[in-house]
Structure 1
Amino acid sequence: MRKREVIILGSGFRGLAAAFFLSSKGANVVVLEKAPQFGGVLSGKIWEGFHLDYGCHLFDNNRKDITDFYLEMVEDDDFFVDTPVQYSSVLNGRVTHGLAIPDLSLLPKPLVSQALLELLEMVTSNSAKSSQTTLFEVLVNRFGDTASQLLAPSIEKVYGNPSKDLCRSALNQGLFKRVKLLPDDIGNLLKIMPPLDERIAVKADSNLNSPYPNSSPKFGRNFYPAKHGMSGFVRRAVDVLKSRGVSFFSSTGDMELEFRDKNINVKCQNIGHFSCDNIVSTLSPSDTETQILASRRLCDKICPIPMTLLYFKVNSHDVSSVTYSHNFDIESIAFRISNAGSYGNQYDREGQTYICIECPTNLTEVVWENPSSKVTEIWQAVISSGAVKTGAMYDNFLILQTPRSYSVPLRGYEALENQVFDLLSTHYPRLINLSSLSFSKNEIVSDVVSKLEIL
């Protein structure tokens, strides 16, 4: 029986996971990548001997089946190392260890008390609103109006838009599903109730090293490549897939899809033509819509967030045990500070490692137009976060910029994406689009398995 021929558009994490799953099911797989390198945002960059990640990336060990999926992708049980994670957040200039979200309990007590009363009323009244199209409406329905208002500045800093302008699906991007309003002893008592457990956050200092339910015994809560960062994972996954017969092509140039009765032709500007039974697109839905339907409705409903990234080369003795820290102060241009060099075991002969700072911005702000003028300010944010010791100095720094680090869905995006996908599946049933609303790596793997199981 002839094997099914499948072409995957894009070699980011979605594309690699899809290629692994389909090749494991016996399909002949070809991966086409428009960029010169494979891996998308995981491709990274080498700087002064360090394999830099573009931002903070970790693997979560909260589902054994998905952790096993990753281990099979690299065919090496020793490829990853267990990564004990310690995180913190900053709000109003105060650091809360063991918390990755804004610590609203630091705000004025009358506001916090009002927010808590409203949250309890929302849980006990079961008065869910029928229409929740924006992130703000979802948060009001989840926490009440006061907590939603208190979260608004942090949301606008991270997502570049007010919560009232964002689609409800922005909640899936993870940072604002719970609120911290209470001391931990009271919060832990309330979390016995499932509806409150889903909404209330407590500091995780005491259980960061305890395993998740249903996790793999191989690791604790998180793990990471033992060498060369996430780019090492990409190279290893590509090598394994090639050994299984998957073909990879980069620098394809523009691609044109031609749907015929019995097959699909893909014309690549730089490398020629390919033919297949099915196409799996990991491109952004807006790009797929533009390319195949010649319409641009989704482009107006998705907002790319520009990012300036700074990498500081520092003495490893000055680096703290904080794995990453989120700064929610709107006065600070820094957002996420991660010690990726340390948890990736990247040290040079002089004992130096690197720290990454992510600064979401827009194309008119100084941190984008003249980032070198903000280096001192950003370094001070690193010190204030506790990621390095007070008085520590950096040896060197690197600035990288991208006009599209991640994208956030604007009001109405989710419904429109569903319409576009329905239209594509009706007219092009052999084209499978992977959801852009799956955010974490584990969610992406789940989406890949559920969407491609039919092939």
Structure 2
Amino acid sequence: MDNANLVVVGAGLGGMAVAIRLALQGKKVLVLEKNETYGGKLAAYKWEGFRWDRGPSLFTLPEQIKELFDLAGKSLKDYFEYVKMDYSCQYFFQDGSRLTIPADQEKRKELFVEIFGQKESAAAEEYIGRTKRIYTGLGNLFINHPKFGLNNIFDRKVLEQYPKLLSRPLLDNLDGFNRSYFNDERLIQIFNRFGTYNGSNPFKMSGIYSMVGSLELEDGVYFPKKGMRSIVDALYQLAIDCGVSFEFNQSEISVEQLDEGYKTESSGHIHLTKNVVSGIDVANFYTQILKDQTLERKIKKQERSSSGIVFYWAVDKIIPDLKLHNIFFGEDYKREFQQIFNGEFFDIQPTIYIHLSCVVNNEDAPESGQNWFVMINMPAGFKVSDQEKDKLRNYIYAVILKHFDVDIKNDILHESIWEAKDIEAITGAHQGALYGASSNHKLAALKRHGNTNKKYPGLYFCGGTVHPGGGIPLVLKSAKIVSTLIRKNDN
């Protein structure tokens, strides 16, 4: 028997964040992880002087990381450092034009006037202001609290938000809402792109997700000096310093509900605790850990978010115009998402995302090269054939040649690939879906799995596949919600 009084399953970002918070409440926390190390999707890969972050590459709202260190009475700088970028993202359009959006708001306004004209620029500023207000009202209400249900619809704080709930952003899809503001297709594409932040279809998902873009454009984009992996390196060390225990290589983990509390078994060890927290994909938890077939079927009926294929390329060439984040829009954005959510391989030229961490951390690549993270969104569960991979490679080469007049085909020294089957095998994400269930339904936020389940009192859920959603900021929010619920239920 183990003497831990709380077990967390999964040492990803959410699992470690909730473990830290619970340890600071005085709990003796044990984290069980099936892999040999921590971090989940925030993994890293190295090859002969090149280093890549395997998974997420966008870092926003760093104060949420800082909050964990402040709670522990620690200095964030002793564990982890980051910089604020002068720009958010560089966009490349089908007509050959490009746009890098400055972080400085006045510079952004000036650039938008220069590129799009006074009318479209004014519309953009009005749009950003409105969506920021949506986040301040609706976002804070729904993101910072446990998921609302039917029993909450007459709560005063919910009633106050009804004008926004019944407004055009919610009733229209994201693309429709964006078209109500803009005429320039390039601006519509930019603001539609924020729908991909939770792996969903901007032509179906609620316009309420327009608030995502305002956070990036108003608050800014940041990047860790030592790459995204350093975020979880810092949290792991903080967790250890807070007294959290970890057990890795726990390939056989099971959780069983008892009359009072839970029995968790791993590698022959039994842990009896009042509470268990799942920090892993909720579908995987019900399938492999709790073995509840009814809930497993219910979760798996939900449409999955998108997955992706990532090419990690060691490129023996410098293209100085490439920045930290680069988007090359495809030829038919709407059809691209139709194919993703129909489970098809593309018969068009899709959108490409290229990320270079060496722009911030020059140790991630030799002086003569760059570490390219090249991603194309894919259907969840889709197996890309060797022939299809060749087709994607040749397409990427052609896009680079078009925009930079550079043929990189013979400059790729090394390649590694991550696709849906790899993401599922390594991270446990069902079908390799990056964010669990999609948000394509207008009421997806209310349909998403919550942080608790009435059938299992004392069992809690955090991470990107449950409320409030995927992406680093929301995963950290879920950990905070769970720790608050446990403290409240203990009192």
Q: Same fold (TM over 0.5)?
A: yes
1:249 aligned residue (247, 250, 272): 247
Higher helix share: 2
Q: Answer yes or no: is the 8 Å Cα contact 1:346–1:353 preserved in 2.
A: no
Counterparts of 2:363 and 2:17 in 1: how far apart (Å)? Answer: 26
AA aligned opposite 2:475: I
The verdict on how the C-alpha distance between 1:70 and 1:332 changes in structure 2, with shifts beyond 3 A counting, is farther
User: 5+ residue gaps in structure 2?
Assistant: 104-110, 132-161, 332-347, 421-431
AA aligned opposite 1:91: F
Question: CA offsets per residue over residues 153-173 of structure 1, 9 Å max, x none?
Answer: 86898888654544677657x
Shift, 1:80, TM fit: 1.8
Shift, 1:239, TM fit: 3.8
Counterparts of 2:222 and 2:165 in 1: how far apart (Å)? Answer: 36
- Percent sequence identity over matched residues? 15
Question: CA offsets per residue over residues 221-256 of structure 1, 9 Å max, x none?
Answer: 523043xx3334434432442343322123323432
Counterparts of 1:428 and 1:138 in 2: how far apart (Å)? Answer: 36
Q: Answer yes or no: is the 8 Å Cα contact 1:342–1:354 preserved in 2.
A: no
Q: Answer yes or no: is the 8 Å Cα contact 1:311–1:357 preserved in 2.
A: yes
**Equivalent residue, structure 2, for 1:339:** 356
Q: Answer yes or no: is the 8 Å Cα contact 1:74–1:236 preserved in 2.
A: no
**Equivalent residue, structure 1, for 2:413:** 396
Shift, 1:68, TM fit: 4.8
Counterparts of 2:440 and 2:474 in 1: how far apart (Å)? Answer: 21
RMSD between aligned residues: 4.6
Shift, 1:39, TM fit: 0.9
**2:270 is paired with a residue of what secondary structure?**
strand
> Number of residues paired by the alignment?
398
**Equivalent residue, structure 2, for 1:191:** none
Shift, 1:415, TM fit: 2.8
**Equivalent residue, structure 1, for 2:66:** 67
Stretch of structure 1 that moved more, 42-51 or 91-100? 91-100
Equivalence map 1:30-429=2 (5 Å)? 30-61=30-61, 63=63, 66-69=65-68, 76-77=77-78, 79-86=80-87, 87-93=89-95, 94-98=97-101, 130=166, 136-137=172-173, 140=176, 144=180, 162-163=201-202, 165-166=204-205, 174=212, 177=213, 212=219, 222-226=222-226, 229-268=227-266, 270-290=267-287, 291=290, 293=292, 294-295=294-295, 296-315=297-316, 317-320=318-321, 322-330=323-331, 331-347=348-364, 351-362=368-379, 370-382=388-400, 390=406, 394-403=411-420, 404=432, 406-407=434-435, 408-411=438-441, 412-417=443-448, 424=453, 426-429=454-457
Shift, 1:14, TM fit: 0.8
Shift, 1:30, TM fit: 0.9
Counterparts of 2:127 and 2:179 in 1: how far apart (Å)? Answer: 5
Q: Answer yes or no: is the 8 Å Cα contact 1:55–1:356 preserved in 2.
A: no
AA aligned opposite 1:378: I
Question: CA offsets per residue over residues 244-302 of structure 1, 9 Å max, x none?
Answer: 3322123323432222244311123x453222221112223333455464322222223
The verdict on how the C-alpha distance between 1:368 and 1:41 changes in structure 2, with shifts beyond 3 A counting, is farther
User: 5+ residue gaps in structure 1?
Assistant: 179-197, 213-219
The verdict on how the C-alpha distance between 1:74 and 1:257 changes in structure 2, with shifts beyond 3 A counting, is farther
Question: CA offsets per residue over residues 379-412 of structure 1, 9 Å max, x none?
Answer: 34346566xx856673424131221251333425
**Equivalent residue, structure 2, for 1:193:** none
AA aligned opposite 1:286: A
Higher strand share: 1
Shift, 1:41, TM fit: 0.6
The verdict on how the C-alpha distance between 1:364 and 1:245 changes in structure 2, with shifts beyond 3 A counting, is closer
Shift, 1:50, TM fit: 2.6
AA aligned opposite 2:354: I
- Tell me the TM-score normalised to structure 2 length: 0.65
**Equivalent residue, structure 2, for 1:184:** none
